[in-house]
Chains A and B, each alone.
Chain A
Amino acid sequence: DAGVIQSPRHEVTEMGQEVTLRCKPISGHNSLFWYRQTMMRGLELLIYFNNNVPIDDSGMPEDRFSAKMPNASFSTLKIQPSEPRDSAVYFCASSLMGQGGEQYFGPGTRLTVT
């Protein structure tokens, strides 16, 4: 079984550019989560979706961040414009609702904004 798939694995961009991160959840999972991890702040939940609908986006840092889930097998996290402080590892995770909350993480995207 394929796990959560994320692309790209590494992204280096200049300040002010638009960045789009992509995620394909585990087939059959109906909840999807976007996290950001830094040394200073640890693992932070940015937003999560149930059945493609955003449920809680209180962790999204500001309006520069947006996320979509157009169907059950694809989600994007967009940063526009990017800033150096956005440099972090971004993880996508998925789970099956009603199964106790077990989440499975993708390999992550390491974003560097110069």
Chain B
Amino acid sequence: QKEVEQNSGPLSVPEGAIASLNCTYSDRGSQSFFWYRQYSGKSPELIMFIYSNGDKEDGRFTAQLNKASQYVSLLIRDSQPSDSATYLCAVNNAGNMLTFGGGTRLMVKP
């Protein structure tokens, strides 16, 4: 059973702080990794993807991948109340299929 694990939260951070969201996966053969943001009542929105070990930065977002530790994370710098949402980690194991984690609920408090 290929699994993707996330802490369900809620993770509460003050406005302006760095939010750190973590995800572990079980399949060592996983090739690509995705972070989706889902606001309440809305659909998942792709915000970051990463294929290689290391960091990938896009604006206030940084995705980090460590394949040896089977660990992927998302850092959100200068967190804003509008970042409050559920963040879903997804892993591509084979073909086009994604396995999703249960999501981490982030709350950014003004």
Query: Which among B31, B32, B96, B97 has the greatest number of chain A C-beta atoms within 10 A?
Result: B96
Chain B residues whose C-beta falls within 8 Å of the C-beta of A45 in the assembled complex: 97-98
Of A13-21, A64-72, A79-87, A94-102, which binds chain B? A94-102
A50 CB-CB contact with B under 8 Å:
yes
Chain B residues whose C-beta falls within 8 Å of the C-beta of A50 in the assembled complex: 95-96
Known A91-B43, A100-B32, A100-B92; judge A42-B102 contact (CB<8 A). Answer: yes
From residue 70 to 114 of chain A, which have CB atoms closer than 8 A to chain B?
A: 91, 95, 97, 100-108
Contact residues on B (Cβ < 8 Å of other chain), bracket: 20 to 34
Contacts between the two chains (Cβ within 8 Å), count: 51
A56 CB-CB contact with B under 8 Å:
yes
A55 B32 Cβ-Cβ under 8 A: no
**Complex Cα distance A33/B43, Å?**
14
A101 B32 Cβ-Cβ under 8 A: yes
B100 CB-CB contact with A under 8 Å:
yes
A100 B95 Cβ-Cβ under 8 A: no
Chain A residues whose C-beta falls within 8 Å of the C-beta of B98 in the assembled complex: 45, 101, 103
**Complex Cα distance A50/B95, Å?**
10
Known A48-B96, A50-B95, A100-B51; judge A91-B44 contact (CB<8 A). Answer: yes
B53 to chain A, nearest CB (A): 15
**Complex Cα distance A104/B34, Å?**
11
B100 A42 Cβ-Cβ under 8 A: yes
**Complex Cα distance A42/B99, Å?**
11
Chain B residues whose C-beta falls within 8 Å of the C-beta of A97 in the assembled complex: 95-96
B30 to chain A, nearest CB (A): 10
Residues of B within 8 A of A (CB): 31-32, 34, 36, 42-46, 49, 51, 88, 90, 92, 95-98, 100, 102-103
Q: List 15 A-B contacts (CB under 8 A).
A: A43-B88, A43-B103, A48-B96, A55-B95, A56-B97, A95-B96, A97-B95, A100-B31, A100-B32, A101-B96, A101-B98, A102-B46, A103-B34, A103-B46, A103-B90
